[in-house]
Each structure stands twice: as C-alpha cells, then as structure tokens.
Chains A and B, each alone.
Chain A
Amino acid sequence: MNVYLLQVVNGVGIGMLYFLLAVGLSIIFGLLRFVNFAHGAFYLLGAYFCFQAVAWGLSFWLALVLVPLAVALLAWAAERILLRRIYDKPHEFHILITVGVALVLQEAVILVWGPLGDNVATPAPFQGVVMWGSFIYPKYRLFVIGFTAVFALFLWWVLEGTRLGSAVRAGSESTEMVAMLGINVFRVFGLVFALGAGTAALAGALAAPIRGVDPFMGLEALGVAFVIVVVGGMGSFGGALAGGLLIGIVQSVMSSLWPEGARLMIYVAMAAVLLLRPHGLLGRG
C-alpha cells in the first residue's frame, strides 16, 4: 500500500487521541469562557492513575472506567474549592491559577512516582499487529480509534440529547439567560469542568500503553490540545474532532514528506487555518 495512505490511517489514529485530549478543553472554554491550563495535568493524572491501577493488578478495562471518574471527581472538587472563585476575573487570573494547579499536580506525580518514566503493558487482547498486505498496524491503536469513535458519539449525545447538554449549549450562548430560566448554572459549570477533566484523563489512560508515562507528558499534551482547539474553533465539539483529525493526519503525512518538520507543521497548519478562518474550522464568529 502507498506509504501516504498508511500515514493517513496512522494520522487518524493519532487524531482520534488528539480529539479526546482537546474536546474537554474546548467544551470548558465554550461554556465557562475559562482558559484551563491545568488540562494537560488531568491527562497526566489519567495516565499515571492507569499505570498505578495496572501495577496493582487491576484490569486495564476497569481502569479505563474508574480512572476518568476519579480524575473527574478531583477536578470537580478543584472547581468547587478554587476555580469557581475566579470565573468573573480576567483571563490572566485563570491562567495564573490553572498553571499553578498544573505545576502542583506535576510535582505531586514526581513525588509519588519519581521522575523516571514507566511503561504500561498493552492489554492482552490487543497485543500484536494486524496485517493486510503491506499494511501493518498495532491492534491496540485500532482499538483506540474504534473506542474513541464510540465515545465521541456518546459525548455528542450527552451534549445534544440531554438536559445537561442543552443547558451547556444554552449556557455557552448566554449564561445569564440560562440562570434566569431557573437552572443552577454553577452546578452545570462544575459538572462540565469534571466532564472535561474526565475526558482528558481518559485520553491519558488510553495513551499510556502507546506512549508510556512520564511526569512531563502533560505539558506536551497541553500544547497539542490548544492547537486543536484553536484550529477547530473554541467551544465546538465538531471542531475538536475536525481539528484533532486534521492535526493528526498533517503530523503523520509530514513524517514521510518532511520528517524533520513534522512537529513544526502542526503549528504551520494552525497558522494556515487561522489565516483562512480566523474563528477556526467550525468556530462561530
């Protein structure tokens, strides 16, 4: 098979993980108008909780359910105790506080698990590769694509088909109006923040068998997540999906065309999208 076709398939695999990483950040910004620099740290926690769960002998699949819930709970508590107090402050405060939270979490990870990286074994049924002619792809990465697609549908249903979802969408248009309709906006905020952090943790747990865990993975993830949110459009679910896939495919295809610039091209793609569509692919003006 043509190497570029292989790279597109691989790019979809990377892109689905990127989508999962970025969608929470996007939703949080869309509703709360809140810039969350701690998002990468929730991804980091997800990966390390998954590592710990597997090290304790828990099944990876159980970890995939429990870890996002645990991180969501932690994020919900952080929102209630800390972040809720600064929503009405300018963005600089948001950045200051969430960068602080991210650093505390990162250092906590180093204290508990040490500065060295670790490995998470690929779950047994998805070890090995699939082969179709010259196409070779790890089974686990295929699983991640499928799982993330199903999860994306679920998330789309939550946002489009449930009362919480309509409150979120309405809230992102006008918080005051939603509050006047008798909906407890702060409760919705807390839930959305927890949901966003939970999806980041899920991305971390899913990525752990591919990339291993190390204390600095959150920073790298945060950079990528911001690029995708900007490319896709702030606050847009479909934008996060389109942005994630676009960036994943660009990165992968460029690994063949111009390997030394593959990383750089992520940012070039972002700049190009911003020049053509200043509000992102699916963003609202």
Chain B
Amino acid sequence: MNRRQLLQLAAASAAASALPLPLRVARAQAAQAIQFGCPVPMSGAFAANGKFADLGMKLAVEQYGKVLDRPLAYTLLDTEGKPATAVRKMQELVQQKGARYFAGGILSSEALAMGKEAEKNNAVFITTAGADEITGADCNRATFRWSVPTYGAIERTVRPLIEQMPNAKRWYTITPQYVFGDGLLTAAKNIFKEKGIEHVGNSYHSLTEKEFSGYLTNAMAARPDVLLLLNFGSQSSDALRQAVSFGMKQNTTILMAWASGLEQFESLGADLCEGVYFGAQYWHGIDAPGNQDFVRRAREVFKANPNYSLAGSYICTKILIDAIVKAGSDEPAKVIAALEGMKYTGLTGDEEIRPEDHQVLKNYYLLRGKAKSAMKDKDDYADILSFGKSFLPVAQTGCKL
C-alpha cells in the first residue's frame, strides 16, 4: 500500500467513524470509556496533516486498548484550521462525551485557543504546534507541547549550518507574517548577530500567498549565500519549488528550517530536495528504540513508514495514556501532576516533560536531501546530519504556571 491509498483508507475510516456516532456514544458510555479528542484540520489547506494525525491517535489508542480496566475511545474533530471552530468542537465533546484529553492542533493559532479552552474545562491538551507562546507567555496548567518550538528549530538548523559553512556570510530570509514566522525570524536574527552573519534581506508574505517569484527576485538581487525559508507546509513547498526553478540551488544553499517531514519530501520529489537542508521534528529513520518500535507498529498496520503528522499525534496520545496509567486515575489534576517531570522513551530518544513550562525536551534534526540514485528505498530521501536539544531556559520563556 502506498501513502495515497493509506490516505484514502483514512478518509474512508473517518467517514465510517462519523456515521454511527450515536451508537458509538451509547456503547462508550456503557463501558465508561476514557474519552480522547483529536482536534485537527480535516478540511482546508492543512487537511492532509489532520488525516495523518487521525491515524496516529488511532494507532496509539488501539495499541493500548484498555487502561485502568477501562476502554479507550477517541473522537476526531475537524477544526478546519480555525481557532473558533476548534474551540467550539472541543466544548461540544467535553459536554457530550465528557472528554478530558485532547491531542492535536496543527496550527499555532488553533493550538493557542484550544490550550486556553482546555484550562477552562478542566481538560488536558497536548499539541505539536510551533509558536513559542504555547509554552511561553501563553502557557497554562492544562497545556503541554511535544514539538520543539521555534527557538530550538533555528538553533539546531541555522547554527550547525553556519558552523559547517563558515564562508557563507550572507543570508536572506522568507517569512510568513504571523506569530510562528516571526518566532523563527527573531531566533535566526539573534544567531546572525552573534555569529557576525550579514542578514541581507527578508521578505514577509501573507498566509495565503502561493506566488513566490517576486520574493525570490528580491532575494536573488541581494546575492545571498544562504536562502533561509521560514514558512511551513505547502507554502514552504511552493517557495522551495520556485526557488529551485529560479536556479537558486546552483549558487545558493537553501535551508528550510521547519519542514513537515516525509510527506513534504514525497510531494516535492527527490530531485527538488537533493542538496537542500531541512529542519525536522521527526524522521522515520531516527536511530532510537522508541522510534524503532513505533515504525514497526506503523508498518504493520499501514504498510508504510510513518510521517511527522502521524508520529506527532501518536506520541502525544501515548504520553497522555502513559500519564493516566502513572497517575492511576483519569482525574485531570492527577494526570497533569504525573505528566510534569515525566521521563520516557520517546521517538527521538529519551524525552522528558519540563514541569515549569510543560515543554517536552526532545531532539530536533538537521537533514539534507539525497540524490535519487543514493536512496536505499523509496522513503530514504534524506540523511540526518546532526541533532540535539535546544530550549530557552524557563526564565526566558515568559511562562509562569
């Protein structure tokens, strides 16, 4: 089965799980299931991420089946990528099924809104969204985050690349103008300043932009050594594709600081990605026991390698379930206490949850795209060049729990 068939399967299973809803509710209540919610965009521009996230939660819930002698159940919620819709669907699930555990939120805006809502509803929310505020100025008792925020993503990509190419002194950035993009840009500028790098220009663009040729013309006129892409998802794909068509790969090094992993390599193809640097939260080839176990499970069920969206949703759900087991209760306050400081074998090696800001401390990866001829199998798009953990000290995050 290839990934497209897998997605179609996901769509079908989503449709099937949506239909007999009253029946499922009745059954779940009778057995006193512990209810989870998977609030992710299932329509709109980020629907693909949502569909993989659904599969990730499904995998984790089915792996455990039962904890504390109670079955696990989850409901998929289509946030449409909109904070207001996300919050409304979350409220409904809390009221209708008594769900208290939510893992999802692809976009920072929806994740921030849902985190606040979780706190109001005595629920627990864990996300993979990127904005620093989630475990920074806007942190709260109910919100946790697995992915490395923007600071670490830049520290683990821009810094090693500068060290690797000491002669590349001129950097140009392309940035989406919202909280996530600005977070990445600020972190990058700080390193530029520290390392004496000349920031030869930045192009901000809107979140709906698809035509990057104008920004690239600007970038080329500035004659940079490195083009740093700070956008995300299909926008970063569009920007990279158009940069390559403008011949920028020949005399410029391209770094996409926040790639979305395997699904992005698949949609771009190996030829475009060859020689390009990517920052990644997750890669199926990570050499860690937790990841090897997960990849094996995913391959058994889906006959394909897991991508970042699937992995993120899986590990977030798994963390919640493990904490419920550790707490010996599904009481949110006890589960939050169990989560704080929890150390576990994660997908990127040993991971732990920092109690002061609820940020998971995990690795971030710098990858480089391989030539098609060097790929060992169809998903072997990139080599891991370096990785490590970089997080702002709690005092600097602005988080006060």
Contact = CB atoms under 8 A, between A and B. Distances in A.
Interface of A: 3, 6-7, 10-11, 13-14, 110-111, 113-119, 121-122, 128-129, 134, 136-138, 140-141, 209-212, 214, 216-217, 220, 251-256, 259-260, 262-264
B246 interface: yes
Contacts of B206: 260, 262-264
22 contacts: A6-B217, A11-B214, A13-B213, A14-B214, A111-B11, A116-B7, A116-B48, A116-B266, A122-B245, A129-B246, A134-B221, A209-B245, A211-B241, A212-B237, A212-B238, A254-B214, A255-B214, A259-B204, A259-B215, A260-B204, A260-B206, A263-B205
Given A114-B4, A122-B245, A263 B209 contact: yes
B220 interface: yes
Interface of B: 3-4, 7-8, 11, 44-45, 47-48, 51, 177, 203-206, 208-211, 213-215, 217-218, 220-221, 234, 237-238, 241-242, 245-247, 263, 266-269, 271-272
Given A111-B11, A116-B266, A119-B272, 16 more contacts: A115-B51, A116-B7, A117-B234, A129-B245, A141-B213, A212-B237, A212-B241, A214-B234, A217-B210, A252-B213, A255-B215, A259-B204, A259-B215, A262-B209, A262-B214, A263-B206
A251 B267 contact: no
B267 A212 contact: yes
Given A115-B51, A122-B245, A259 B237 contact: no
B205 A262 contact: yes
Contacts of A111: 8, 11
Given A212-B237, A263-B208, A138 B247 contact: yes
A3 B210 contact: no
Contacts of A117: 234, 237, 267
Contacts of A119: 241, 267-269, 272
A116 B218 CA distance: 29
Of the listed residues A10, A117, A209, the one surrounded by the most CB atoms of chain B closer than 10 A to its CB is A117
A251 B214 contact: yes
Q: Which 3 A-B pairs have the closest CB atoms?
A: A255-B214, A129-B247, A260-B204
A6 B213 contact: no
A118 B4 CA distance: 11
A116 B8 CA distance: 11
A278 B11 CA distance: 46
Nearest to B242: A210
A255 B208 contact: no
B386 to A, nearest CB: 27
Most buried by B among A116, A119, A252: A116
A121 B217 contact: no
B32 to A, nearest CB: 35
Contacts of A259: 203-205, 214-215, 218
Residue of B204, B238, B247, B266 with highest tally of chain A CB at under 10 A: B247
A131 to B, nearest CB: 8
A138 B272 contact: no
A231 B229 CA distance: 33
Nearest to A13: B213
A136 B237 CA distance: 21
Contacts of B210: 211, 217, 220
B267 A252 contact: no
A136 B246 contact: yes
A226 to B, nearest CB: 15
Given A129-B246, A136-B247, A6 B221 contact: yes
A119 B272 CA distance: 9
Nearest to B241: A212
A3 B221 contact: yes
Contacts of A113: 4
Contacts of B214: 7, 10-11, 14, 251-256, 259, 262
Contacts of A141: 213, 245
Contacts of A6: 217, 221
Nearest to B7: A114
A259 B239 CA distance: 14
A121 B47 CA distance: 24
Contacts of B237: 117, 212
B40 to A, nearest CB: 12
A3 B246 contact: no
Given A14-B211, A216-B45, A255 B218 contact: yes
A114 B8 contact: yes
Given A3-B221, A115-B47, A263-B206, A128 B247 contact: yes
A116 B213 contact: no
A255 B203 contact: yes
B246 A260 contact: no
Nearest to A137: B246
B49 to A, nearest CB: 9
B263 to A, nearest CB: 6
Contacts of A7: 214, 217-218
Nearest to B4: A114
Residue from A209, A217, A251, A260 whose CB has the most chain B CB atoms within 10 Å: A260
A211 B267 contact: no
B217 A10 contact: yes
A116 B11 CA distance: 13
B160 to A, nearest CB: 28
Interface centre among B51, B203, B211 (most CB of A within 10 A): B211
Contacts of B177: 260
